[in-house]
Amino acid sequence: MHENYLAGLFLAISLFLLAKKYNMLDSPEFYFSILVAVTTYYIAFAFEHEKHIIIEIAGSAIFSVLGLLFLRKSMVVLACLIISHGIYDYFHLAFLNDSGTPVWWPEFCATFDIVFGSLLLMHIETMKKSRMNSDLK
């Protein structure tokens, strides 16, 4: 059970560090790509139990449309959407317990989403402070 959380934590930190190394953290397109990726897994899982596929497509579409609306406006909102998907993950099995989703997935994905989105928010805040400091010089 704990390994699901640890795997999500490890992946979130690893992806964040790789994105930082390759200067991807200042790109709203990167944030949006991660958001779309994490929301579409449930669609793939839903093919096992087709009765939930429309619900999963709708859930993914909501996150994707919101992401598109804020793509050029707010990286903070994009990071918060990733975090909010983590909250969605956490409660997913309570509402759709026979959706084809592996029982370990919501724990793994919730941890990834919440940690990764939080790291993005911290990066955004660090960027703002850095810009303010350079403006003062």
Q: What is the DSSP letter of 24?
A: -
pLDDT for 36-54, tens place per residue? 999 999 888 888 777 788 8
Q: Please list, in sequence order, all residues whose beta carbon lies within 8 angstroms of the beta carbon of residue 43, skipping any fewer than 6 positions away.
A: 53, 56, 57, 60
pLDDT for 112-128, tens place per residue? 999 999 999 999 999 88
| Predicted local distance difference test score (pLDDT) of residue 135 | 63
Tracing tokens 């975090």 back to the chain, one arrives at: 83
Q: Is 34 exposed, middle or buried (0-12, 13-18, 19+ CB in 10 A)?
A: buried
pLDDT for 43-86, tens place per residue? 888 887 777 888 889 999 999 999 999 988 999 999 999 999 99
Domain range summary for the chain, segments of one domain joined by +: 2-136
Whether the predicted model's global pTM rises above the 0.85 cut: yes
What is the average pLDDT value for the chain, to the nearest integer? 90
pLDDT bucket at 18, cuts 50 / 70 / 90: very high
Residues of the chain with pLDDT > 70, as a percent, come to 94
CA dihedral 116, 55, 40, 96 (to 10 degrees): 60
From 63, 9, 10, 7, select the one nearest 35 (Cα to Cα).
Answer: 63
| Predicted local distance difference test score (pLDDT) of residue 119 | 97
From 130, 108, 120, 127, select the one nearest 17 (Cα to Cα).
Answer: 120
